[in-house]
Structure 1
Amino acid sequence: MDMMDMASPSQPTDNSRASADLVLVTRPGAFGLPTACPACLPAFLYLRLAAVSFQEQVTAVEPDSEDLPAVEYGESVGFASENGGVIEFLRKEKVVDLDAGLSDSEKAELETCKAMMESWVADASAYETWMRENDRQCKAVYFAELPWGLAQVLDWKQRVGVMQRLGVTPDNAAARAEEMYRKASNAYAALSVLLSDHKFFFSNRPTSLDALVLGHLLFHLRVPFEVSTLKGEIFKHQNLVNYAESWSSQLLGEGEDDIDAAFQPKAPPPPPMKRTKEKEMPAKKEKSEKEIVFKKRAKYFVITQVVAVLMYAMFAGFGVDDEDEDGVDENDE
């Protein structure tokens, strides 16, 4: 079964036929968010800010995949793991580009702020999300739809991988945490100054930075982590809190009628038509390649995670369960 077979569409927008051309694949929603995935939420908000009609498809396949979010547009597919992610894909496919029209100086400042968000802030966010103390909320974000045993294995594997990527060890955990939180705090202060009392960060209109910052703020304001240093840092900047709350009501209304009129979804441009002189076979081959990508990823996920569950069950039978949990705690300290 491929990723799209496992997906369940959200409530369709007004123009169902047009929106069928553009599909955003995300992880499931939770805590009042359409998707509780910190990587998927900015992509969702980007399309909302662009007022582009799209269908959201939620998938439980590959909850630890770096490919999500993904976007389908006609016969083309863009993954988060590709250079520039789904936002660059949308720009190249001429669906939408929120950053078009910015001055050179604004583009330079925007890229600087995005780099800060994707490094300093993203590291602190990942650390806080995968802390052992926030285990329950983290599982609700990534593994809520999986069987208990599989969720336990994936949670442990992902936590160890995140801490290794962040360079967190039992010996330096306190120092690394302090460093990451300090950098995130500095980033919030810079964003607060840049935003000031404006509605957007640049040119009185939304950009990709707005989607990125809003996604991060709403994730940490909405998810009820047991330990949340970042939420405390965000609350030090009331304009960032007001900014997030205001856009939450305008972009994430319970129904289309609750969404601000300026951001009501509109039909995206149709996918580019194939040239008439082209034969049908190349088009069919392109689509089959897209399906193969999804099927190969899903097949790999199922096989590896079944093996992981068997190993988990085997070792648990020898009483390794408690020792393993202690080992994870040491990695998180």
Structure 2
Amino acid sequence: MLIHSLFRKGLDADEHLNSRQKADRKVYDALLFSWYVDSKNFTEEIRPLYAKLLAFPIRYFTPTQLRDAAKARLERYGVVTVGDLGVLLDKDKKMDRVALESYDVLLKKIGNNEYFFGDQPSTLDVIVYSHLSLHLYAKLPHPNLSIILNNEYPRLARFCNRMKNRLSSQPINQLPDIDLPSVFTGLIKSPRTWFTSSEVKTSKTEETPQKSEAQIKFERKRNISIFGAIVLMIVHVVWNGIITIEWDDKRISIL
């Protein structure tokens, strides 16, 4: 939001960057548009992807928060305004032009070389590949960036394929969908943990096995983690206005 405010005041925080650095920024911005502002891509691919990767309950509000942040960042290009529902008119064409500008800079830099500084990859090659691979290989309903790279910038597409083959000689296996554990999923799947403090001991004389030092440390860390997660969740809810607390002289109201 700070960057968004600077641009509204006519201040460019990136004016000191060189052409290659600005190209990197525009490549990233083009990706943000493709993932978050293109409504079809977001609703059919990106949001479900976060639902698989994130634990409950953050899977339900994190994608929307990321989308809002992306829209605020992209407002400088005149392709989206905060609160936009993501309806595409000529916005996709405007953002395609932003991508073309960055691709032109990268194409000029790599020239006829296999990599940006000759015949061997460097850190720059890895950085550029990390951006372009998401443009080229992402399977989206509207694969505009992939189409542009394959049809209009085949040298950059070949560069990505070259880096892909070099970095991953073996095919990457897709992991099965998993439901990551969290405090909430743990409580839901094991309701008995809600009432562990009220369990009745069957025998007072029954000897409890001694716990090892490692077990004691593990349980202590686990309890601290659970307590920390609950505190963070409460802070998030209050901070974002989901719940507001009003104080007066006689009572506390939660809205």
TM-score by length of 2: 0.52
AA aligned to 1:246 is R
Q: Which runs of 5+ in 1 are unaligned?
A: 1-108, 256-294, 313-333
Quote how far apart the aligned CAs of 1:189 are. 2.4
Please tell me whether residue 153 in structure 1 is matched to residue 61 in structure 2. yes
Tell me the amino acid that sits aligned with residue 125 of structure 1. L
Equivalent pairs, count = 164
Query: For residue 157 of structure 2, what is the aligned residue in structure 1?
Result: 241
Pairs within 5 Å for 1:95-174: 112-117=19-24, 119-130=25-36, 131-134=38-41, 135-139=43-47, 141-147=49-55, 150-167=58-75, 168-169=80-81, 170=84, 174=89
- For residues 218-248 of structure 1, give each alpha carbon's deviation from its aligned partner in whole angstroms, at most 9, with x where no partner exists: 1122220111221121111111111111211
Q: Alignment identity in percent?
A: 20
Tell me if the contact between 2:114 and 2:159 (Cα under 8 Å) persists in the aligned partners: yes
In the superposition, the TM-score normalised over structure 1's length comes to: 0.41
Superposed displacement of residue 254, structure 1: 2.5
Matched-pair contact (CA < 8 Å) for 2:31–2:134: no
1:250 aligned to 2:156? no
Amino acid in the other structure paired with 1:160: D
Please give the alpha-carbon distance, in whole angstroms, between the structure 1 residues aligned to 2:238 and 2:59: 13
**Superposition RMSD on alpha carbons, in Å?**
3.8
Q: Structure 1 pair 194/144, CA: closer, same or farther in 2 (3 Å)? A: same
Comparing both structures, which one devotes a greater share of its residues to helix? 2
- Following the alignment from structure 1 to structure 2, what is the Cα–Cα distance between the partners of residues 299 and 114? 41
Change (3 A) 1:198 1:299: farther
SS of aligned partner of 1:186: helix
| Pairwise CA distance, 1:303 | 4.1
Q: 1:220 maps to what in 2?
A: 135
**Per-residue displacement from partner, 1:23-44 (whole Å, max 9, x unpaired)?**
xxxxxxxxxxxxxxxxxxxxxx
Q: Does 1:191 align with 2:106?
A: yes
Report the 3-state secondary structure (helix = DSSP H, G, I; strand = E; otherwise coil) of the residue aligned with 2:58. Answer: helix
- Check the 8 A contact 2:19/2:105 in 1, yes or no: no
Contact kept, 8 Å, 2:29 with 2:74, in 1: the verdict is yes
> CA–CA distance in 1 between the matches of 2:121 and 2:231?
38
The structure number with the bigger radius of gyration is 2
Contact 2:23/2:103 (8 A) holds in 1: no
Q: Distance in 1 between matches of 2:104 and 2:146?
A: 13
Q: Is the 8 A contact 1:234 1:240 kept in 2?
A: yes
Q: Is the 8 A contact 1:129 1:138 kept in 2?
A: yes
Q: How far off is 1:129 after superposition?
A: 1.0
- Describe the SS at the equivalent of 2:165: helix
For residue 207 of structure 2, what is the aligned residue in structure 1? none
Change (3 A) 1:254 1:310: farther
- Equivalent pair of 1:113/1:209 in contact (CA under 8 Å): no
Q: CA deviation at 1:113?
A: 1.3
Cα deviation 1:242-293 (Å, max 9, x = unaligned) = 11112111102228xxxxxxxxxxxxxxxxxxxxxxxxxxxxxxxxxxxxxx
Runs of 5+ consecutive residues of structure 2 not aligned to the other structure: 1-16, 172-224, 244-255
